[in-house]
Structure 1
Amino acid sequence: MLNEFANDVRELTGGPVNIEILPSGSVVGNREKALISVAWNWALERDYITLDNPTKVVKPNDEKPRDHYVTDKEYNIAYQLAEGTPYLRPAMELAYLCRMKRCEILAATKKHILKEGFDTQRVKGSKDAITFWSDRLVAAVNYKASEIESFYIIHNRYGQRIPESAFKSAWTRLKKKMKKAGIEPFNFHDLKAKGGTDFNGDVLDATGHLDPKMRKVYKRKLEVEATR
């Protein structure tokens, strides 16, 4: 279906369209629907087509929120395994301690460092928050890949921002190491959920989400200690 759609878009625009075919499943089906919707609206805005977006009448598949809770043991093992890609370690700490997403972490700069703590500056309309300083957070934001000063908190040895694609590839390699080490490989976003679950307070305040429904997504364990 997506290949046929891509061919139609190529004919309309005269340009290349790259489509990644993912494994089948209810979640993937929802992602494909979203992709087609965005592309269709793009074509509508530019008068390539006149028909209304057909995805409006397609009911999304039910999705079960991910419920894996990353234990302290799993976190510590993964942290040690990340030694080969040094920038993964401070990124893990920011995801957990500040309940931040990957894109927020990669975009974080020295401007986020305030006297009272670290400014998360969340995306997608979520509430920003300041995480007060702890020894772990100080160590994470002071990460240096080399002697070259960088504007970005997470950076490579040349002081440059880490591209999303490079980070995803590095995390995929780390997940393979987790499996070999005998722990369940977890997604990077699971660390934000762990931080929200471990937070000593309302999980919505911890993660910056405004929708109460997100409490089920980020509260993955009933009794936990406060975030370190």
Structure 2
Amino acid sequence: MGNDLNEARRKWAELESEPVGTNDKSFSIIARRYLREVLPTLRPHTQRDYTQYCALLEAVFGDVAIDSIRPFDIAEYLRIRGEKSKVRANREKALFSTIFNHARSWGYTDITNPCTGIKGHKEKARDRYVSDDEYAAVWAFAHPTVQDAMDMALCTGQRPADVLKIVVTDIADGLLSVAQNKTGKKLRIAIEGDLAVTIARIMSKQRNAKNLALLQDPSGQRLTYFALRSRFDKARELAGVNFQFRDLRAKAATDIEDLAHAQSLLGHKSRSTTEIYTRERRGDLVKPLKRISKDIVR
């Protein structure tokens, strides 16, 4: 099947797929078509998540005709699945809706999407702030590749996927060029201070010159998301700290006192987005009462 898990899953789905009959409108048939035709066009991280979500959806709706699935069925799925994970239930519902819309465009059905009007579970915005001591504790236990990734994420304020995809050719003329996967936003980050030290440390290590990836495993291969996640989780457990790698983006923004600077570094379109992003993690900065009235003291 190959060394890439997502590619192996797609190949397996292709081998297992059956000829699609013109009258076969089961969710399973349509979902497998989605996995074959649409999933490969998405980002690797999204492919991994959607493959998992689709397996869960198939377990429930697999043999059901797509145009016989009712809004009530979606609401029940949300309710039951939400007993274990409200966030995952919402994501799976969103994927179902996407697959259903493709079914409409492919001619399997012309009825209204049953997800329409069905509200998902309320989600609480993540507000975890990583202290310097927590960061240092995990860093101390981390594999060298994770240390490099952590420092790059903190210095640049970029998402894990954007950090992992950096190549050495993105570094030129004292600048690091980044194109964010999620938004397509392009940034040029000045290589100075801690970022300059971090990049110099990474480049000084033994490397596979034929591989342009900045973050490499000792084998000379690009550091993968799965390797990063596994090693980071191990270091986090040893350190007794529970923050997530993605929280480093929020820490970078929050630790910058200049809000405009933080907005530019994160690539936010709106200043208010950055304000909410940072304020929810450390709270509003307010001043105390300057002096107590002498009458009150008496």
TM > 0.5:
yes
In the TM superposition, what are the counterparts of 1:47-196 in structure 2 within 5 Å? 47-82=107-142, 85-125=143-183, 127-142=185-200, 143-144=202-203, 146-149=206-209, 150-179=211-240, 184-196=241-253
CA contact (8 A) 1:146 1:158 kept: no
Displacement of 1:102 in angstroms is 0.7
Greater shift after overlay, 169-178 or 85-94? 169-178
In the alignment of these two chains, the number of paired residues is: 210
CA contact (8 A) 2:31 2:99 kept: no
The answer for unaligned runs of 5 or more in structure 1 is 1-7, 224-228
Instruction: State the percentage of identical aligned residues.
Output: 23
Q: Secondary structure at the match of 1:57?
A: coil
2: CA distance between counterparts of 1:55 and 1:36? 8
Q: Secondary structure at the match of 2:176?
A: strand
Displacement of 1:135 in angstroms is 4.2
> CA, structure 1 residues 18+125, in 2 after alignment: closer, same or farther (shift >3 Å)?
closer
After superposition, the CA RMSD in angstroms is 2.7
- Read off the aligned partner of 1:157 and give its amino acid letter: P
Which protein is richer in helix relative to its size?
Answer: 2
Q: What residue in structure 1 maps to residue 28 of structure 2? A: 10
The answer for unaligned runs of 5 or more in structure 2 is 1-25, 36-50, 57-80, 286-298
2: CA distance between counterparts of 1:121 and 1:10? 36
1: CA distance between counterparts of 2:131 and 2:31? 49
Greater shift after overlay, 187-196 or 164-173? 164-173
| Higher RCO structure, 1 or 2 (CA under 8 Å, sep 6+) | 1
1: CA distance between counterparts of 2:140 and 2:257? 26
- TM-score computed with the length of structure 2 as normaliser: 0.61
> CA, structure 1 residues 71+46, in 2 after alignment: closer, same or farther (shift >3 Å)?
same
- Read off the aligned partner of 1:207 and give its amino acid letter: L
Displacement of 1:126 in angstroms is 5.8
- Read off the aligned partner of 2:242 and give its amino acid letter: P
2: CA distance between counterparts of 1:75 and 1:128? 27
2: CA distance between counterparts of 1:116 and 1:35? 42
Greater shift after overlay, 188-197 or 32-41? 32-41
1: CA distance between counterparts of 2:99 and 2:137? 41
Displacement of 1:43 in angstroms is 3.0
1:199 aligns with 2:259: no
2: CA distance between counterparts of 1:170 and 1:124? 24
